[in-house]
Amino acid sequence: MANNHGDFIWYELMTSDAAGARDFYAAVIGWDIETNSDAPKDYRMISASDGPVAGLLPLTADLLAGGAHPCWMGYITVSDVDACAAAIKDAGGSICMEPWDIEGVGRAAFVADPQGVMFYIMKPIPPADNPNAQSTSFAAETPMVGHCAWNELSTTDPHAAKAFYGALFGWVQEGDMDMGPLGKYEFWWDGAKRFMLGAVMPKMAEMPVPFWTYYFRVPDIDTAFAAISAHGGTVIQEPIEIPGGDYSLVAADPQGAAFGLVGARA
């Protein structure tokens, strides 16, 4: 079954050191990242054991000089990129890059919500021999090692964010956890309520800006935790137990891109 409007379908690492990122994520998550690519802008595939789950975009000197910095971005599929981009602007968001076509891949736009959190929207072109192809980069219904397991928005205005993403993508907020003085950690479901896609929470004071954090699944959280520091990364939040018995952590890679991990404890 093909992905629906509002589903996360892809993730992208923008980095200032592609070779360094390749070594780091191989050690921490077990990914295989292409050493080079014939694709435009040297776009490289990031693969788990069962195939591609994300992409790596090397940041050129010009991009860095223009203010780009290492980070992770998510792609949300939409039924009409141009219409959705216009709706985002009408809802108080902004268009960072106007809609463009990626040959053989689809149509995309780089946008931001009203609080300034950036992400991509995209209408992919399915393979000719598989028109109902479904992305599992976000393993929405079945845990998959190396795939994204959770999408978490830290924002300066959770109420406005729920209204924005709900109107644009049909997401439904249901259920929450009380974090005391930090506020509520509120769970988000896809529009059809087939699965929980992530959560929205108030931005903590020590966070410089609101942003999305994407959590990738590892087979053993403690092994990955040790590998982060051993390979030049920085642990921001040590492993904590989460509902269901898994553990999660938040870290930054050696180039400064923040990400999360989810996994069991042996």
List of E strands, 1-40 = 8-15, 32-33
**φ and ψ at residue 141, rounded to 5 degrees:** -115, -20
Are 248 and 215 in contact, with CB atoms under 8 Å apart? yes
**Domain final residue, candidates 84, 108, 124:** 124
Quote the pLDDT of residue 39.
61
Closest CA to 164 of 120, 114, 122: 114
**167 and 96 both lie in a single domain:** no
**58 and 158 both lie in a single domain:** no
Quote the pLDDT of residue 133.
85
**13 and 95 both lie in a single domain:** yes
Q: pLDDT tens for residues 223-240?
A: 999 999 999 999 999 999
**DSSP code of residue 158:** H
**Domain of 14, in residue numbers:** 8-124
Quote the pLDDT of residue 40.
59
Overall domain count for the chain: 2
H-type alpha helices, the chain: 18-28, 61-65, 81-90, 158-169, 221-230
CATH of residue 28's domain is 3.10.180.10
**113 and 159 both lie in a single domain:** no
**165 and 222 both lie in a single domain:** yes
Measured between alpha carbons, how far is 57 from 172 in angstroms, rounded to an integer?
A: 32
**Strand pairing partners for 71?**
14
pLDDT along the chain (266 residues), means of 10: 88 96 97 80 92 94 85 97 98 96 94 97 90 91 96 97 97 93 93 92 87 97 98 97 94 97 94
Measured between alpha carbons, how far is 73 from 125 in angstroms, rounded to an integer?
A: 20
Question: Would residue 134 count as lying in a domain?
Answer: no
Quote the pLDDT of residue 108.
97
Question: CA-CA distances (angstroms) from residue 46 to 12, 114, 240?
Answer: 9, 30, 27
**φ and ψ at residue 215, rounded to 5 degrees:** -105, 125
Predicted TM-score (pTM) of the model is 0.95
Are 113 and 161 in contact, with CB atoms under 8 Å apart? yes
Which residue shows structure tokens 């929207």?
121
**DSSP code of residue 231:** T
Buried b (16+ CB within 10 A) or exposed e, 151-182: bbbbbebbeebbebbeebbebbbeeeeeeeee
Question: Would residue 89 count as lying in a domain?
Answer: yes
